[in-house]
Amino acid sequence: MQTILGANGQIGEELARELKRNYTSDIRIVSRKPVKVNDTDTLFAADLSKREEAIEAVKGSEIAYFTLGMPMNTDLWEKQFAVILRNVIDACKISGTKLVFFDNTYMYPQDSRVLTEQTPFAPVGKKGRVRQQMAEMLLKEMETGQIEAVICRAPEFYGPGKTQSITNTLVFNNIKEDKKLKVPLKDNTLRSLIWTPDASRATALIGNTPDAFGQTWHLPVDENKLTYKQFIALASQVYGRELKYAVIPKFVFKIGAVFNENMKELQELLPRYGYDNLFDDSKFRQRFPDFKVTSYRQGIEQIKEEQKK
């Protein structure tokens, strides 16, 4: 059995579909209020911040995928995120379950250096420090041989369905609502965006590749790095109309943070939009050369078709 912890979010849902398509029909869906993705899924309601419930949620699993997300609330992250991961690690150790940890890039430095699996952690802000604490917690367990685990790390999302990201919010949601698009800080810095279904497919592949464990993997992105200006120009081609946008300067976000809690939570993530964001996925591409990465054009076309429906 393979278990998805935090299964009804943007990564977990597509992961469940991919596991069913290519690996197993014996899938356990775990969340506080789990919902089936496939007809054959088994549901398990659990609060993973409670150790005993985490142990029961993982029990009997060959592989557990940690795809849990949390609202952009710093207090909640600091109080619960690392506790939940600690409980899951302990549960996997008790049951002899392999752990696949889906991670992000918040713990990396927010500057123009190329990001590889060896890039030292240098987080900006409290959420970044929480992600660093979580990654280091698991790496320590892996290094001491306490658990068989693997880290799958992804940059900012864009995608269909439930995908939540700055790009989806400021670009694609505004296209759907026929509003002017917005770009944070600069439109001429290169961006690395991952198509959410690709992130889930790659995570399933790594989780079912025994020799991939004990390592960190950067998940695959379109090799054709684009600026927001180029990305929106491509979207204009796909949608068949000029999509106008405005670049939002940093001081506007700062003013907004005084009145809007979401804008306040966004502050520590803004520096990365002032620099090229270059995410190196060459390790994955060399190990899995047959993996088909969704191009930006293909992704935008899929979003357009979904919006029509």
pLDDT of residue 225: 92
Residue-level pLDDT, tens digit, the chain, 309 residues: 999 998 888 899 999 999 999 999 999 999 999 999 999 999 999 999 999 999 999 999 999 999 998 888 999 999 999 999 999 999 999 999 999 999 999 999 999 999 999 999 999 999 999 999 999 999 999 999 989 999 999 999 999 988 889 999 999 999 999 999 999 999 999 999 999 999 999 999 999 999 999 999 999 999 999 999 999 999 999 999 999 999 999 888 888 777 777 778 788 888 899 999 999 999 999 999 999 999 999 999 999 999 988
pLDDT of residue 256: 79
pLDDT of residue 8: 81
Q: Quick check: 101 and 152 in contact, CB under 8 A?
A: yes
pLDDT of residue 276: 95
The CB density around residue 265, as the number of other CB atoms within 10 Å, is 18
139: phi > 0 → left, psi -120 to 50 → alpha, else beta; which? alpha
In angstroms, the CA 297 to CA 254 distance is 33
Letter for the amino acid at 262?
A: N
Q: Quick check: 67 and 40 in contact, CB under 8 A?
A: no
Q: Quick check: pTM over 0.85?
A: yes
pLDDT of residue 199: 98
Q: Which two three-digit tokens encode residue 217?
A: 């993997």
In angstroms, the CA 99 to CA 91 distance is 10
Q: Which two three-digit tokens encode residue 128?
A: 């970044």
pLDDT of residue 255: 82
Q: What is the per-residue pLDDT across 249-305, written as a single tens digit (0 to 9) for each?
A: 988 888 877 777 777 878 888 889 999 999 999 999 999 999 999 999 999 999 999
